[in-house]
Amino acid sequence: MTENASTRTAPQTVEPIRRGITVDVAQERAFDVFTGDMTSWWPATHHIGSAPIAEIIIEPKSGGRWYTRHEDGSETSTGYVVAYDRPHRLVVTWQIGHDWTYRPDLITTIEIRFEAEGPDRTRVELEHRDLASFGEHAEEMRAIFGADDAWNQILADFAAAAEGGA
C-alpha cells in the first residue's frame, strides 16, 4: 500500500499555555525571586512528595536539577534546567505526569522570560509547551495548567513575593 495523505498520521499538536504578569521590581530581582526563592511563593499544596515542602531548588546552571526537598528529608524531582540566563531567561523541564508522579521519560518545557520595562518594572512571560508529550492526557493536562488556579495563580503569588520584599 502506498502512503498518501489519508493514511498518514499527523503529529499531535497541543497549544502551549502562555501566561504573563508585570511586577514592580527590577529585572534582576524578578529573576532571583523566581529562581532562587521559589519556596516563598510556590503553593504549598502543589507538590508530589509525601511530606510538606521544606525547600524548592532550581540549581543555577544549565543541566542543574529542579527538585523539592521535603520536611522529612526526602526529595522529589520536577525536572532539570535547560537554560539559565540571569536575568533574562530560564528554561526548565516539567517531568511530572498526569498521575502526578515524576516521569524521567516525559519532557514538557517551561520557558520564563524576564523583560525589563524600566529600572523597577519587569514583564514576566511564561510558556509551558510540549504538552503533546502527555499523549492521550494532553488536553486534560492543558486544561489543568490553563485553569485560573494554576499558572495564573502561581504567577500572581510570585509577583506578591517579589514585590513584597522589594
Mind listing the pLDDT tens digit of every residue in the chain (166 residues)?
444 444 444 456 899 999 999 999 999 999 999 999 999 999 888 778 779 999 999 999 999 999 999 999 999 999 999 999 999 999 999 999 999 999 999 999 999 999 999 999 999 999 999 999 999 999 999 999 999 999 999 999 999 999 996 5
- Rounded to 5 degrees, φ, ψ at 155 are -65, -35
pLDDT at 46: 75
- Rounded to 5 degrees, φ, ψ at 134 are -75, 0
- Helix %, strand %, coil % for the chain, to 5? 30, 35, 35
Question: Can you give the pTM of this predicted structure?
Answer: 0.89
Task: Give 161's DSSP letter.
Answer: H
pLDDT at 166: 52
Alpha-carbon span 3 to 70, nearest angstrom: 52
Percentage of the chain with pLDDT > 90? 84
Write down the architecture of domain 19-164 according to CATH: 2-Layer Sandwich (3.30)
Nearest by Cα to 35 from 2, 63, 61: 61
Q: Measuring CA to CA, how many Å separate 151 from each of 1, 13, 32, 97?
A: 46, 20, 19, 16
Cβ–Cβ contacts within 10 Å for residue 7, how many? Answer: 8
For the chain, the domains span 19-164
Q: Which three cell numbers stand for residue 163?
A: 514585590
pLDDT at 3: 44
